[in-house]
């Protein structure tokens, strides 16, 4: 660096000698002046350490000199500096120490050196032109505990290149309007959206050069005011836009005080869309709607929308609605709410969760409890979809994992309710499972108006607190049946149990008898049978080895049923089309009978798989197709 400065000085001195040849001005004086200018260009300028002040005030800076263009600047710890120039502030490097604050007002900051911001430092962008951090820096070093605040500005774009789209914490101010993102954001801290009433913070919007963005928030998100969305197509969009928000922490939608009346909204889609946008939120933590917070598919008001539009929310933690939470639709296409946690999830209904829109627009609601998820609905209210007449039909509430619903909670509306093979349904209502064709169909936990499908290869649990009936909707054949109710459960109709009848708590009134299938058994760990002699077993011994699966094709689980003809060592394995073993479902001695095993292909790619059954020296192979 010193040699480069000497070279600059010598070069400029040579120019001066030629320019002033024959002049009486001493060359030495010229060189001295040039050296002073070079020193200013490369000098370090630090704020006064006593509070800071205006960038253009000499009293703000230690030494009393305002930094020149290309000067390296440090905002000292605890100091606050504001720019208020009508022209761009130019500097070399810019360092913000811990606890410092820089409020950028005017056209913004243009840099030629490195930018760094330390833990606890706050950078406020109140400009219309600058899109994020100072422009032009050769590198950006962002501490995860620093904060970027987007203040006033008309239709700002947050982030415009990978180099300046990494942040610590981010705050969206009420004065910022029409905010969208121009690049994939990485927010290492928390995101606080306090946009003005009716203002939207969009993950992507029509008019940007990008058509697909993926944003990551490693901390929590709080929507205090305004609307947080993924995609805003707008009438100017020429291609479908796609945006995904990945949140590692919790999401809270609603102002932090019930006494305040600001509206906080959450909707994957905003504005018109006649092309088919995709807005996705993946929330790995808990999600809460409080103090008037609103959940909606979109905030559109027009009818110029595509039925291919997708508004999707994937929840991996708990989902909570307090008694003031609100709901809306205002969208066409598909509204998807998936529960995908690997740990037990609780959905607390503080009031009725009702997705109802007379339309247009009207969207289709799809809900899924994923394979491996364990979800419990509680709170004593309704989960309802009333969007009749949607272009994609009424939708469905599909259970592939474990779904428990407390005694006073209900699923209602125009959706189908489907319990797939291998899934588990836990029922808390005294009426049990009621079929749609029952004399009083609007009873029990499942009261939707459309089809109610309960697989005979699924598992059913009765765990209410008041005495229960199994109900007319319980299939005549089930896999496992669990009785876990100290008040007792009464069997409504003759039922065959192919898996395990688990008596965990209370008395199972089996005056109407049940039948154990070939591989069925009774497990008593705390409950009891009212009529022990009513247990009927049908130990039919298969005469040949069989192997098959249902459904086929499947996604991502399928029930594999096989028969064993004698006492033998049995192995049941799954192979991919390259002959690689991907799973072993059975490896041990089995008695003669018919058995069921579930294969979960969630970890594997779509394609052809083979189930291979070995009984002694006999081998049977079945072909399976997984389509995701």
Residue pair 121/79 in contact (Cβ under 8 Å)? The answer is no
Confidence of residue 533 (pLDDT cuts 50, 70, 90): low
404 burial (CB, 10 Å; 0-12 / 13-18 / 19+) is buried
The pLDDT value given to residue 614: 94
**Selected residue with higher pLDDT from 344 and 21:** 344
* C-alpha pair distances (Å), 569 with each of 581, 588, 596: 19, 5, 16
Query: By the 8 A CB rule, do 438 and 432 touch?
Result: no
CA end-to-end distance (rounded Å), the chain:
59
Neighbouring C-beta atoms of residue 258, cutoff 10 Å: 12
| Mean pLDDT computed over 390-412 | 94
* Band of pLDDT at residue 13, cut at 50, 70 and 90: very low
Q: Coil, strand or helix: which one is 479?
A: coil
Distance (Å, whole) CA 438 – CA 429: 16
For 152-156, 215-219, 305-309, which range has the lowest pLDDT when averaged over its residues?
152-156
Using an 8 Å Cβ cutoff, are 112 and 135 in contact? Answer: no
What's the pLDDT at 349? Answer: 96
> CB within 8 A of 603, min separation 6: which ones?
none
- pLDDT higher than 60, residue 314: yes
Helices 27-42/2-19 angle, 10° precision: 140
CA distances from 595 to 80, 456, 598 (A): 72, 14, 10
What's the pLDDT score for residue 353? 94
Average pLDDT over residues 166-185: 87
- Per the CB < 8 A criterion, the answer to whether 538 and 517 are in contact is yes
Average pLDDT over residues 429-456: 92
3-state secondary structure 220-246: CEEEEEEEEEEEECCCCCCCCCEEEEE
Task: Report the alpha-carbon distance of residue 141 to residue 146 in Å, rounded.
Answer: 10
Taking a C-beta distance cutoff of 8 angstroms, is the pair 386, 413 a contact?
A: yes
CA distance 189 to 117: 14
pLDDT at 252: 97
In the block, which residue shows the tokens 């079945």? 622
Q: Is residue 7 predicted with pLDDT exceeding 80?
A: no
Q: What is the pLDDT of residue 179?
A: 83
- Predicted confidence (pLDDT) at residue 2 exceeds the cutoff of 50: no
Task: Decide if pLDDT at 462 tops 70.
Answer: yes
CA distance 582 to 605: 11
* pLDDT tens track for 76-101: 999 999 998 778 899 999 999 999 99
Of 3-12, 145-154, 472-481, highest mean pLDDT = 472-481
Give the Cα separation of 280 and 207 in Å (integer). 20
**Paired tokens of 583:** 């799973």
Q: How far apart are CA 538 and CA 562, in angstroms?
A: 17
Classify burial at 328, counting beta carbons within 10 Å of its beta carbon; exposed 0-12, middle 13-18, buried 19 or more.
middle
Residue-level pLDDT at 222: 96
Asked if 424 contacts 402 with a C-beta cutoff of 8 angstroms, the reply is yes
Q: Is the pLDDT of residue 248 over 80?
A: yes
Q: What is the share, in percent, of the chain residues with pLDDT greater than 90?
A: 61
Please tell me the predicted confidence (pLDDT) of residue 336: 95
153: pLDDT strictly greater than 60: yes
pLDDT one-digit tens code per residue, 547-586: 998 889 989 999 899 998 888 899 999 999 999 999 999 9
Q: What confidence score (pLDDT) does residue 423 get?
A: 96
Looking at residue 499, what is its pLDDT?
Answer: 94
Domain definitions of the chain by residue range: 2-41, 206-382, 546-626
pLDDT at res. 235: 60
> What tokens appear for 296 in the block?
């909606």
pTM for the full predicted model: 0.79
Tell me: the pLDDT tens digits for 346-395?
A: 999 999 999 887 667 788 999 999 999 999 999 999 999 988 888 899 99
> Which pLDDT score is estimated for 129?
57
Q: What is the mean pLDDT of residues 435-443?
A: 85
Residue-averaged pLDDT of the chain: 87
Q: How confident is the model at residue 39 (pLDDT cuts 50, 70, 90)?
A: very low
Write the CB contacts of 421 (distance below 8 Å, at least 6 apart in sequence).
Answer: 455, 457, 458, 550, 551, 557, 558, 559, 598
| CA gap 453, 472 in Å, rounded | 12
**482-511 confidence digits (pLDDT tens):** 999 999 999 999 999 999 999 999 999 999
Of the pLDDT bands very low, low, confident and very high (cuts 50, 70, 90), residue 236 is: low
Give the confidence band of 70 by pLDDT, cuts at 50, 70, 90. Answer: confident
CB of 256 within 8 A of CB of 223?
Answer: no
Question: Taking 60 as the threshold, does the pLDDT of residue 163 lie above it?
Answer: no
Residues making up the chain, counted from first to last: 628
- Decide: 509 and 488 in contact? Cβ < 8 Å: yes
Q: How confident is the model at residue 238 (pLDDT cuts 50, 70, 90)?
A: confident
Q: What percent of the chain has pLDDT over 70?
A: 87
Superfamily of domain 546-626: Macroglobulin (MG2) domain (2.60.40.1930)
Q: pLDDT band for position 328 (50/70/90)? A: confident
Residue 31, pLDDT above cutoff 50? no
The DSSP secondary-structure symbol of 137 reads: -
Residue 4 has pLDDT above 50, yes or no: no
How does residue 592 score in pLDDT terms, banded at 50, 70 and 90? confident
DSSP state of 14: H
Q: Check pLDDT > 90 for residue 57.
A: yes
């Amino acid at each position: 660096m010193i040699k480069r400065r000497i070279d600059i000085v010598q070069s400029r001195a040579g120019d001066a000698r030629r320019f002033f040849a024959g002049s009486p001005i001493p060359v030495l004086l010229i060189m001295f002046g040039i050296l002073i200018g070079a020193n200013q260009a490369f000098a370090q300028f630090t704020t006064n350490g006593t509070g800071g002040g205006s960038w253009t005030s000499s009293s703000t800076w230690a030494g009393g000199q305002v930094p020149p263009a290309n000067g390296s600047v440090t905002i000292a710890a605890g100091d606050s500096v504001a720019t208020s120039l009508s022209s761009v502030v130019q500097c070399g490097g810019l360092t913000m120490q811990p606890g410092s604050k820089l409020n950028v007002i005017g056209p913004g900051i243009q840099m030629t050196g490195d930018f760094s911001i330390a833990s606890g430092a706050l950078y406020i962008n109140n400009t219309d032109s600058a899109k994020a951090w100072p422009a032009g820096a050769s590198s950006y070093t962002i501490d995860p505990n620093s904060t970027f605040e987007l203040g006033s500005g008309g239709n700002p774009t947050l982030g415009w290149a990978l180099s300046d789209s990494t942040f610590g914490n981010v705050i969206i101010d009420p004065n910022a309007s029409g905010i969208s993102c121009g690049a994939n954001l990485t927010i290492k801290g928390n995101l606080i959206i306090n946009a003005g009433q009716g203002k939207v913070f969009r993950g992507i919007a029509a008019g940007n050069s990008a058509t697909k963005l993926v944003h990551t928030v490693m901390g929590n998100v709080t929507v205090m005011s305004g609307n947080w969305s993924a995609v805003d197509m707008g009438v100017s969009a020429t291609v479908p836009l796609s945006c995904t928000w990945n949140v590692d922490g919790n999401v809270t939608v609603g102002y932090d005080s019930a006494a305040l009346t600001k509206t906080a909204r959450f909707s994957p889609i905003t504005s018109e869309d006649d092309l088919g946008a995709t807005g996705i939120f993946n929330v790995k933590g808990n999600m809460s709607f409080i103090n008037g917070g609103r959940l909606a598919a979109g905030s559109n008001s027009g009818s110029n929308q595509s039925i291919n539009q997708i508004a999707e929310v994937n929840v991996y933690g708990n989902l909570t609605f307090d008694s003031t939470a609100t709901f809306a639709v205002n969208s066409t296409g598909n509204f998807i709410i998936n529960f995908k946690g690997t740990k037990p999830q609780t959905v607390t209904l503080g009031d009725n969760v009702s997705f109802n829109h007379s339309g247009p627009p009207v969207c289709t609601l799809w809900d899924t409890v994923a394979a491996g998820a364990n979800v419990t609905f509680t709170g004593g209210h309704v989960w309802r979809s009333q969007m009749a007449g949607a272009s994609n039909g009424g939708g469905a509430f599909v259970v592939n994992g474990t779904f428990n619903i407390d005694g006073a909670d209900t699923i209602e509306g125009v959706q189908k309710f489907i319990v797939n093979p291998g899934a588990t349904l836990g029922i808390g209502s005294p009426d049990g499972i009621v079929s749609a064709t029952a004399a009083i169909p609007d009873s029990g936990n499942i009261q939707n108006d459309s089809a109610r499908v309960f697989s005979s290869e699924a598992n059913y649990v009765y765990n209410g607190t008041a005495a229960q009936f199994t109900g007319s909707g319980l299939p005549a054949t089930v896999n496992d049946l669990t009785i876990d109710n100290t008040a007792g459960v009464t069997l409504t109709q003759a039922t065959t149990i192919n898996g395990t009848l688990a008596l965990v708590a209370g008395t199972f009134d089996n005056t109407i008898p049940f039948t154990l299938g070939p591989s069925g058994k009774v497990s008593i760990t705390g409950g009891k049978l009212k009529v022990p002699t009513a247990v009927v077993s049908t130990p039919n011994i298969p005469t040949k080895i069989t192997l098959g699966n249902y459904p086929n094709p499947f996604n991502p689980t399928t029930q594999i049923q096989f028969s064993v003809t004698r006492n033998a060592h049995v192995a049941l394995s799954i192979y991919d089309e390259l002959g690689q073993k991907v799973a072993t479902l059975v490896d041990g001695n089995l008695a003669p009978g018919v058995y069921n095993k579930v294969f979960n292909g969630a970890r594997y790619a779509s394609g052809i798989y083979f189930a291979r059954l070995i009984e002694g020296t006999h081998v049977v192979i079945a072909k399976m197709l997984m389509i995701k």
